[in-house]
Amino acid sequence: MVFSDFHFYSEVLGIQTAAYILLPQPQVAAQSGSPIPVLYLLHGLSDDHTMWLRQTRVEQYAQRYRLAVVMPAANRSFYMDMAHGAKYETFVSRELSSVIERYFPVCRKRSGRFIAGLSMGGYGALRLALRYPGRYAAAASISGCVEMERGYETFRRQNPSVLEELDNVYGGEREPLRGPGSLFGLADRFLKEPQRAPRMYMACGTEDFLFGHHKKFVPALEKNGWDVTHEETPGFGHEWAYWDAQLAAFLPFALGD
């Protein structure tokens, strides 16, 4: 594999930012004669863009499936255009992919572009896939904080210090979470046309503190007529062993293998 610690200036964020990038060796990339499929892999709230590479076998999986993997830095933004902060939704969904496609030989079509993440990144991956269904062929939430309507209450009990951050992200109003920040609201946009939506993969351990979010959101997708692949794995909590295993399971799903 080729590894790049890629740094560049973001016009959207107004700062120098970074992403880890994995690419197949040139001779491997050239074997099929087609652009390399690309996965945008999003980190969790307390992590950064380095953690997927440090904690999982993502490099082995990328090599196995002839896949490019882009792991961007997004701070604690929930991958939103923040009410009081930077525009990370615009950065990840538009600017980042434009920069990557300019400098690296990755697929520029929806059929070869995927997005996934864990925890905060699981929410971000599903939200961006639902906001921009023409950009991603498949999306995955692994232990995702997918029900932000309840997210405030969850964090109030477990980590009250996060509440101020959420106010900076969403503007301090609870009601808007039922709008542009709500996965439930975004999913309902596809009620009459589920075929427009990306293919969805959702996984969560039964011992995860976010398992209730998962249990509620999967039926919300299924009632809209989507064929959702979901895993509810006994005995696992919010942990890297689970996230590694589910990343390995998502990739053949995304690539249709």
Distance of CA 189 to the CA centre of its chain: 19
The reported pLDDT for the residue numbered 51 is: 98
Compare 149 and 15 and report the one with higher pLDDT: 15
- Structure-block tokens of residue 210: 């976010």
The reported pLDDT for the residue numbered 168 is: 87
The reported pLDDT for the residue numbered 164 is: 79
The reported pLDDT for the residue numbered 36 is: 94
- Using CA atoms, how far apart are residues 36 and 63, in angstroms rounded to an integer? 11
CA nearest to 129, candidates 115, 145, 113: 115
Q: Strand runs (DSSP E) across 24-148, as ranges?
A: 38-42, 68-72, 113-118, 138-142
Which pLDDT band holds residue 30 (cuts at 50, 70, 90)?
low
DSSP-derived letter for residue 111 is G
CA distances from 42 to 115, 220, 243 (A): 8, 23, 12
CA nearest to 88, candidates 78, 98, 101: 78
Mean pLDDT of the chain, nearest integer: 89
Which pLDDT band holds residue 242 (cuts at 50, 70, 90)?
very high
In the predicted structure, residue 12 carries a pLDDT above the cut 90? yes
Residue for token pair 């609870």: 174
DSSP-derived letter for residue 140 is E
Please state the rounded mean pLDDT for residues 4-19.
98
Residue-wise pLDDT tens digits, 34-75: 789 999 999 999 999 999 999 999 999 999 999 999 999 999
Please state the rounded mean pLDDT for residues 122-148.
93
Residue for token pair 């005995």: 235
Q: Strand runs (DSSP E) across the chain, as ranges?
A: 2-10, 15-23, 38-42, 68-72, 113-118, 138-142, 199-205, 229-233
Taking the CA of residue 5 as centre, how many other CA atoms within 13 Å lie in the half-sphere pointing to its CB?
3
- Using CA atoms, how far apart are residues 240 and 245, in angstroms rounded to an integer? 8
CA max distance for the chain: 53
Please state the rounded mean pLDDT for residues 121-138.
94
In the predicted structure, residue 83 carries a pLDDT above the cut 80? yes
Q: What percent of the chain has pLDDT over 70?
A: 89
Residue-wise pLDDT tens digits, 97-120: 999 999 999 999 999 999 999 999
Taking the CA of residue 252 as centre, how many other CA atoms within 13 Å lie in the half-sphere pointing to its CB?
6
The reported pLDDT for the residue numbered 194 is: 67
The reported pLDDT for the residue numbered 101 is: 96
Residue-wise pLDDT tens digits, 174-227: 655 666 788 888 888 776 676 778 999 999 999 999 998 888 888 888 877 777
In the predicted structure, residue 82 carries a pLDDT above the cut 90? yes
